[in-house]
A and B are shown apart, each in its own frame.
Chain A
Amino acid sequence: MIAARSRQRAIGRELRRMYDEVVQEPVPDDFLDLLKKIDETKGKKDGAS
């Protein structure tokens, strides 16, 4: 029982570690430019119509 519980705790910590590791990564530039690009594309379309 105790071994199973400590294993569950270790799994929980490892899951959070893996997730947080990605969260801590710097966000790639193309993500930040994405919304701007969408707006520019939309702006052109709106202007053309």
Chain B
Amino acid sequence: MDADKHFVTGVFDDEDVLLKAVKKVRDSGVKIHEVYSPFPVHGLDEVLGYKRTRLPIAAFLFGMTGTSLALIMQIWMLGYDWPMIIGGKNFASLPPFIPVTFEMTVLLGALGMVATFLIISDMKPYKWPRQFDLRSTDDKHIMAIDLSHNGSKSKDELSRILKDSGASEVNEKNF
């Protein structure tokens, strides 16, 4: 694992202060490692400069996979593999296949997207996360700054920038 990681963490009480602080800290040339919040803060991804997630595209592709699989399965099974006369209707007609096709689209779309989310976010049951501050799931927003990525700035300088931008506390955290 990453041995010897040194971080400076700023504790914020309020999300509006946090949003302004993120902007200020980034403007002063500091690279922010990540901001941890107890609830989603709207606009935080924008001020941090994150690109929009492509998860909707993943969901769409998984959904389309479900649609195609369902159609191929039904047409092949009832149309070619074992055609059966049911009410004198066509062996493979589309309308009665719609419900199963729809359900399979939703099922694969949902499961595929959630699986993708868990994988790209590196979330699994046996993983202990790096905890910068235990209050980040309760009521504080924690801004973590990696010292090794901000080589030109000293600890004191970083904590001064954090304090100036409205952090209620500044701590050090080593892993």
- Do A and B actually bind? no
